[in-house]
Amino acid sequence: MSGLAIMGGTFDPIHNGHLRTAVEILDRYGFSELRLIPCFQPVHKDRPVITPEQRLEMTQLAISSDERLSVDSREIDREGPSYTVDTLRAIREEIGPDTPLVMVLGMDSFLSLPTWKNWHQLMHFAHLLVVSRPGWEPDFVSELNAFCENCRAASPHELQCAPSGRIWFEALTPLSISSSMIRGLARNNESIAYLLPEPVQNYIQQYQLYR
Ligand code: ATP
Ligand code: MG
């Protein structure tokens, strides 16, 4: 598929749940590139304990084995609260009006959408590709149901036919991994092996993060 896929997150730290999501989407949709965009300051979470630069560095370490993955540091460079709508607007300006732009997000993030800044405008700039996440069932709030009715794609192919404005739900290999779980294990001095790439695990050990 021509077009650009992006995935935002706190990546505190990045883990195999994020990375499997990215590669499964790349394989199924054939995008040439998926950009991971670590936020500077999450809007709806406590401020991370480690620095944005450390989260950025771990994200860079994590993608070295797949050349279709890249890291976009614009939210960290921009500083301040990271509003997705601002990021999408900026990317849209760069890629022009015709290129499909697909924002990948987990079901948990999707269910929180009505709390995001100017959330109705997001699909003016991009398609939404909502992926399954264990523990998060699509028990839609009515506001989201009404929203989906207007823009749900009839097939994933529709995301290629327009630059933005459609929504599609995709079931992926369920991986019950979260950054909070990894931070909890590290805090308790338990192993975090096999939940995230080895270079990221080594980085966490080297700098004694999350202790
Ligand atoms: P935390 O526990 O700190 O909230 P997290 O694991 O949810 O961290 P985020 O950085 O908040 O990670 O998530 C970034 C994006 O990746 C979100 O859209 C989220 O829904 C998605 N995501 C994270 N983990 C998974 C997973 N295991 N499966 C599918 N999607 C995921
Ligand atoms: Mg999260």
Residue 204 lies in a domain: no
Classify residue 166: in a domain, yes or no: yes
Specify the pLDDT at position 138: 74
Ligand 1 closest atom vs CA 107: 20
* For ligand 1, atom 8: residue with the closest CA: 179
Lookup: tokens for 23: 């590669």
Domain-located, residue 185: no
Looking at residue 1, what is its pLDDT? 58
Judge whether 2 and 100 are in contact, CB under 8 Å.
Answer: yes
- Is 70 exceeded by the pLDDT of residue 15? yes
Domain that holds residue 32: 4-176
**Ligand 2 centroid from CA 67, angstroms:** 25
pLDDT at 125: 98
Q: Looking at the domain assignment, is residue 49 inside a domain?
A: yes
Atom of ligand 1 nearest to the CA of 11: 10
Decide if 192 is inside a domain.
no
Q: What is the mean pLDDT of the chain?
A: 93
Ligand 1 proximity of 14 Cβ (cutoff 6 Å):
no
Ligand 2 centroid to 123 CA: how many Å? 21
State residue 103 phi and psi, 5-degree precision. Answer: -95, 120
Sign of the CA dihedral with 72 first, then 78, 82, and 88 last: negative
Distance 98 CA to ligand 2 centre (A): 31
pLDDT band, very low/low/confident/very high, at 144 (cuts 50, 70, 90): confident
Cβ 11 under 6 angstroms from ligand 1: yes
Report the alpha-carbon distance of residue 177 to residue 146 in Å, rounded: 30
Q: Which ligand is nearest to the CA of 178?
A: 1
Q: For the segment 30-58, what is each residue's pLDDT rounded down to a tens digit?
A: 888 999 999 998 888 787 789 999 999 99
Average the pLDDT over each of 41-45, 175-179, 192-196 and give the range with the smallest value: 41-45
Tokens of 99: 């290129």
**Protein residue with its CA nearest to atom 24 in ligand 1:** 17
Residue 121 clears pLDDT 90, i.e. is over it: yes
Give the C-alpha separation, 116 to 112, whole Å.
7
- Is the distance from the beta carbon of residue 179 to the nearest atom of ligand 1 less than 6 Å? yes
CATH of the domain at 150: 3.40.50.620
Q: Is residue 200 part of a domain?
A: no
Ligand 1 pocket member 13 (CB < 6 A): no
Alpha helices in 82-165 (DSSP H): 84-95, 107-111, 122-125, 142-151, 158-161
Residue 32 Cβ inside 6 Å of ligand 1? The answer reads: no
Asked if residues 172 and 26 have their Cβ atoms less than 8 Å apart, the reply is: no
C-alpha closest to that of 117 among 150, 152, 80: 80
Contact 108 CB / ligand 1 (< 6 Å): yes
The DSSP-derived string for 155-184 is STTHHHHSSS--EEEE--------HHHHHH
Residue 18, classed as helix, strand or coil, is helix
Minimum CA distance residue for ligand 1 atom 13: 9
Q: Is the CB of 105 under 6 A from ligand 1?
A: yes
Q: How far, in Å, are 11, 12, 55, 75, 162 from residue 45 at the CA level?
A: 12, 11, 15, 16, 33
Share of the chain above pLDDT 70, in %: 98
Range ranked top by mean pLDDT from 7-21, 47-61, 107-121 = 7-21
pLDDT above 70 for 141: no
Radius of gyration over every alpha carbon of the chain, rounded to an integer in angstroms: 17
Q: Evaluate if residue 120 carries a pLDDT over 70.
A: yes
User: Which pLDDT score, from 0 to 100, does residue 190 have?
Assistant: 97
Residue 121 lies in a domain: yes
Count: domains in the chain: 1
Domain-embedded: residue 193: no
Burial (Cβ within 10 Å: 0-12, 13-18, ≥19) of residue 65: exposed
First to last CA, the chain: 42
% of the chain surpassing 90 pLDDT: 81
Nearest CA to ligand 1 atom 7: 178
The per-residue pLDDT for 63 is: 96
